[in-house]
Amino acid sequence: MGGGGFPLPLCVYAPEGFSADTLELPGLMDFYFLLGFLFSCVVSGRKVFAGYPIWWSLALGQQYNSLASRPILCGSIPGLVPKQLRFCRNYIEIMPSVAEGVKLGVQECKHQFRGRRWNCTTIDDSLAIFGPVLDKATRESAFVHAIASAGVAFAVIRSCTEGTSTICGCDSHHKGPPGEGWKWGGCSEDAEFGILVSREFADARENRPDARSAMNRHNNEAGRTTILDHMHLKCKCHGLSGSCEVKTCWWTQPDFRAIGDYLKDKYDSASEMVVEKHRESRGWVETLRAKYALFKPPTERDLVYYENSPNFCEPNPETGSFGTKDRTCNVTSHGIDGCDLLCCGRGHNTRTEKRKEKCHCIFHWCCYVSCQECVRVYDVHTCK
């Protein structure tokens, strides 16, 4: 399939999705917008509309750090659709947190899938950081979309608390004398803002009427809902003599590991869907329906997919599978990380390794460990 002709029909109707502008970004002129749109279509070829976003490659770029002095150039981020480009230019301040959020998501994905046949492998020298694995609408795609959009929301909420960003929630929609928003009624919760940013930015490209877009939208939203669901309410009493006559409560974020654990559970219980086509005024629209009517239909917190995953046992450049050859396995485990399952029945090699290790350590709360050195012998099992 050539890069030239194919993307055009998809590009043409993409602007329809621009109606839902909840952040009320200052509008650009239509002409300019169209120009930029066509430009991005032509330059990035079919990659703009790969199964998953190319801008996730932000996660691997070390330079996009919230403390980096070098500003992010919106034009240099690959694979942004015009709406995202516009967002990036208007809210350049929070783009480092968006990048950090995706990074957080990818790290968590690697942690959650560390012992599995597909271990969330990323490819450093490609813009499509997961290779072709996520091009199909599999469970893995569902998980990565959810964790990435959750990561963006999480990182934005967190960066708002660093206090250096002027657009986080304050001064907005508060009554009282004009110009006194903050003095009159303080700030609103940062959580809503983080969710809003994630929705605006991560969902911007998922406006096509095809099944994959519907799936990505659903899974992105599931990730964000998880963030909101896992917020803890903390309260402080400060009334008469510190009694609870006056009490102030606020929401705090959980650690991202808890989000990862929860979404991993959702990955295991993800709902399989079937694609249905409807004819509507704007053309063919694909929607998803639960495949098995017997099971409970998926809620907004569940992950959905409609294509089966490859088995990831053998390397296959087409599916993007690396195979499990030479992967370390756990000989005592009967789970997926055990040598039987991970090596897909091919058996494993065993070698002994002497490792110098740190032991009897005294830890400080940060950055310093004083240890003795011990030598330990390990058996290392790798798949054939």
Report d(CA 166, CA 163) in Å as an integer. 8
- Is residue 265 part of the contact set for another protein (CB under 8 A)? no
- Is residue 31 part of the contact set for another protein (CB under 8 A)? no
Contacts of 270 (CB under 8 A, 6+ apart): 139, 142, 143, 302, 303, 304, 305
- Is residue 242 part of the contact set for another protein (CB under 8 A)? yes
Nearest to 148 by CA among 138, 156, 136: 156
- Is residue 259 part of the contact set for another protein (CB under 8 A)? no
- Is residue 170 part of the contact set for another protein (CB under 8 A)? yes
At 94, list the tokens.
């929070």
- Is residue 131 part of the contact set for another protein (CB under 8 A)? no
Q: ∠323-324-330 over CA atoms, to 5°?
A: 165
Which listed residue (34, 73, 234, 269) binds another protein by CB under 8 A?
A: 234
- Is residue 176 part of the contact set for another protein (CB under 8 A)? yes
Report d(CA 141, CA 219) in Å as an integer. 9
Which stretches within 113-204 are classed as H helix?
Answer: 139-160, 181-185, 190-202
Of 16 and 162, which has the nearer Cβ to another protein? 162
Which listed residue (5, 163, 283, 317) binds another protein by CB under 8 A?
A: 163
Of 36 and 185, which has the nearer Cβ to another protein? 185
Which listed residue (182, 284, 292, 295) binds another protein by CB under 8 A?
A: 182
In whole angstroms, the minimum distance from the beta carbon of 158 to another protein comes to 6
Quote the longest CA-to-CA distance of the chain: 74
In whole angstroms, the minimum distance from the beta carbon of 363 to another protein comes to 4
Question: Strand 283-290 relative to strand 271-280: parallel, antiparallel, unpaired?
Answer: antiparallel
- Is residue 376 part of the contact set for another protein (CB under 8 A)? no
Which listed residue (140, 190, 302, 307) binds another protein by CB under 8 A?
A: 190
The count of other CB atoms within 10 Å of the CB of residue 226 is: 23
- List contacts with another protein (CB under 8 A): 65-67, 111, 158, 160-166, 168, 170, 174-176, 180, 182-187, 190, 234, 236, 238, 240-242, 244-250, 252, 254-255, 257-258, 361-368
